[in-house]
Amino acid sequence: MNGQGKTYLMAIITAYSFLIESLGLSNQDYLVSSINYKQTSKILGYIKSMLAKIATIEPFKTLIQDSGLDTRTLSSQADQVTMSKTNNKLRAISHEAGQYDSFHFTTAIFDEIGEIKTRQKISKIVSGQVKVRNKQFIQISTAYPDPTVPFHDDERMIQQAMEQDYLRDADTYLGLIWSQDNLDETYKPDMWVKSNPLLDLPSQREVLLNGLTDKRDSDALSGTLNDFQNKNLNLWLEQSTDSFLKLPDVEKAIVPSFSFDDRQVYIGFDYSMFSDNTALAFVFPYRDNNDKPRWFIYQHSFIPWQKAGSIEAKEKQDGINYRDLAKKGFCTISSHPQGLINDEQVYQWLLNFVERHRLEVVFFGYDAWGLTPTIKQLDLNSGWPLQAIRQRTSELKDPTKFLQTMFVEGSVDRFDDRIMEKALLNAEIYEDKIGIQVDKAKATLKIDVVDALIDALFQAMYHFEDFSDVNNPDKQVERMNEKQVLEWFNNPESGLLGDDINDF
C-alpha cells in the first residue's frame, strides 16, 4: 500500500521495542533500514520525533531518563540512538551501506525492501538473529515493477503457508497484505480500500479517492496504467506493458517434480556473447492423465563473470543468486580462470545430462550465428539432428507465439527456477512487418533461456502433429544409433517404430 502509513506504523513498533521490550536487557541492537540513506533517515526521523514527544509524558519521561537516553540527541543528525546505562542502541543502516555484519538485532525493520534484488545483505540480518530471543525481522514494501525480487518470493511463501495452515510449516511468520485481488478491480473504486485502507477513514476518503481516480485516469491516457496498478493497487505485474508473458501465467506453471528419465527431448542452445549467459533449454512433450498434450520445460545456464569482474558482482548486476541456484542444479558457474564461458564444460555437461537420463534427442536447435566449439563437437560426435535457426522474425514468429500460448493456456510445466522465471518476465515482444520475436529492454536483463526455448520449440511445437518428424518412420530410423538400428533390423517387430513398422 502506497502512502497508507506503513512506515509510520513501523516507527511505532520500533519505538515500543526499543523502549519497552528492552526493559531488563542490555547491549541490545535494534535496526531500521531501507534502500538508501535518504529513505532510512526518514523512518529514523519518525522514531526520533516519537521519542522526543513521549519524553515529556509520564511514565515515559522517567523511563527514558532511567535508561540514560539523552533526549538532546533526538534532534541531531546522528544515525543512532543510545541508552547510556544499558548500552542498547538503535542503529540506522541503509542497504547501500550494507554493514549488517557482527550485529545481532533484537528488532530489525526494513522499509521498501521490495526494491532489493538479492538476498546477500539481507541474509546477514537473518543470520545475526539466530541466537537472539524474541527476535523480530519486519519487512515492509509496496509492490515493485520487478516481480522476481526476494520480497515477492517471501510473500508467496507466506501466502502458501497461510493457505496450508494445517501443516504448521511457518508458525514464526506473519503476512499482512493489503492488495487488490486482480487487475479487473482497476475500474472498481469501491473496492480500492483493499489496497488503500485509509479510504475507510471519513476524514481521508474524499481527498484520497479523488487522487487515486485522477492517477488512474492520467496513467490510462498516457498508456502507463500498469504504474497505477503496481504502486497504488499494490499488484505485482510483469516487467512492462510490452512484456512477453504475465506474472500469473508464469507462476501457475510451477510444479514440484518431474522425471526426465527415458523421454524424448527437444533441445535449444543460446551461446553467450560478452556478459550474457549461455543457456541450454530442454522441452519434454508428454500427455497428461486425460491424454492431452503437455510440455515440460527445463533449463541449465552457464554463467560467465569476466565482464562483471567477479561472480559476486555478476549476481548483483543480474539480481540473481547464481551460486545458490548452482547448488539446486539450475546453472553452472564458469570454471574458466578468467570467467569466460568454458565450451568443453558446456559440452560435457550436456552429454552427461542426456546420458544420465537416457534421453532420446529428437532435435537440437541453435542460433545460426552460433557455430561454436560445442556445436562442432556435437556435429562430429553426437549423431543428434542439429539445425541452425536464423534469428529473424519470419523464422521465429511461430515458436515465439507457441511459447506464449503454452503459458496462457496452461499447457506447460516448469520448476520453481529463478533463472527461467526472470528470463520469461524480462522478455518483451519485438514486431515488424514479417513477424515477431523476443527482445529485452536493456543489456543487463537476461533472456537467454527464452531464446533457447524458442530454438527448441522450432520443432517441439509440432511434436503431436501427424506431419512431425518424430512421427515419420524414415526420420525415426535416422535418429537411431548403430545399436538401435541393429536391434530393429534383427527384430523388426520389436515395436521401436510403433504402428508404422509394417510400412517398411
Residues 260 and 345 both lie in one domain: yes
What whole-number distance in Å separates Cα of residue 479 and Cα of residue 463? 15
Structural domain span for residue 18:
6-167
Whether 161 and 300 share a structural domain: no
How confident is the model at residue 248, as a pLDDT? 87
Mean pLDDT in runs of 10 for the chain (504 residues)? 79 94 94 93 93 93 92 86 94 91 94 90 92 93 88 86 82 90 93 94 94 95 90 81 81 95 96 82 96 97 90 84 93 89 93 96 88 88 92 88 95 96 87 78 74 95 84 60 61 52 37
CB 358 within 8 A of CB 262: yes
Q: Are residues 297 and 408 in the same domain?
A: yes
Sign of CA dihedral 232, 236, 242, 246: negative
Q: Tell me whether residue 377 is in a domain.
A: yes
Residues 107 and 47 sit within 8 Å (Cβ to Cβ): no
Q: What does the longest C-alpha to C-alpha distance in the chain come to?
A: 98
Residues 479, 400 within the same domain:
no
DSSP secondary structure, 8-55, as one string: HHHHHHHHHIIIIITTT--S-EEEEE-SSHHHHHHHHHHHHHHHHHHT
CATH number of the domain within which 313 lies: 3.30.420.240
Nearest C-alpha neighbor of 133 from the set 39, 296, 22:
22
Asked whether residue 237 is domain-assigned, the answer is no
41 and 188 housed in the same domain:
no
Q: What is the pLDDT of residue 485?
A: 58
Give 253-274 as a 3 state SS string: CECCCCCCCCCEEEEEEECCCC
Q: What is the pLDDT of residue 407?
A: 95
Q: Write the CB contacts of 290 (distance below 8 Å, at least 6 apart in sequence).
A: none
The phi and psi torsions of 475 (rounded to 5 degrees) equal -70, -30
Q: What is the pLDDT of residue 420?
A: 95
Determine how many CB atoms are found less than 10 A away from the CB of residue 359: 18
CATH of the domain at 163: 3.40.50.300
Cα separation, 47 vs 49, whole angstroms: 5
Assess whether 58 and 119 both reside in one domain.
yes
* 202 and 97 both lie in a single domain: no
What does residue 427 show for φ and ψ, rounded to 5 degrees? Answer: -70, 135
pLDDT of amino acid 153: 85
Between CA 421 and CA 239 the distance in angstroms is 11
d(CA 206, CA 384): 67
How distant is the alpha carbon of residue 453 from its chain centre?
18
User: Residues near 310 by Cβ (< 8 Å), separated by ≥ 6?
Assistant: 339
Report the chain's C-alpha Rg in angstroms.
28
- Both 463 and 480 in one domain: the answer is no
Segments of 159-255 assigned E as strands: none
The verdict on residue 491 lying in a domain is: yes
**Residue 503 pLDDT:** 39
Percent of the chain that is helix, strand, coil (3-state, to 5): 45, 15, 40
Amino acid identity for residue 159 in this structure: Q
φ/ψ region of 498 (left if φ > 0, alpha if ψ in -120 to 50, else beta) reads: left
Q: What is the pLDDT of residues 204-215, one digit of tens each?
A: 999 999 999 999
Q: Residue 232's pLDDT is what?
A: 95
> Does 238 map to a domain?
no
Residue 404 lies in a domain: yes
C-alpha–C-alpha distance, residues 379 and 265, integer Å: 17
Which pLDDT value is given to residue 136? 95
What's the CA gap between 456 and 298, in Å, rounded? 11
Q: 455 and 491 share a domain? A: no
Residue 240 placed within a domain? no
292 with 412, same domain: the answer is: yes
Per the structure, the count of domains in the chain is 4
Residues 190 and 253 grouped into a single domain: no
Residue 236 lies in a domain: no
Instruction: Indicate whether 93 belongs to any domain.
Output: yes
Over residues 348-393, the pLDDT tens digits come to 999 999 999 999 999 999 987 766 888 999 999 999 999 999 888 8
Give the per-residue pLDDT at 240: 56
In single-letter form, the type of residue at position 98 comes to G
pLDDT value, residue 501: 38
Cis peptide before 197 (omega within 30 of 0): no
- 309, 455: one domain: yes
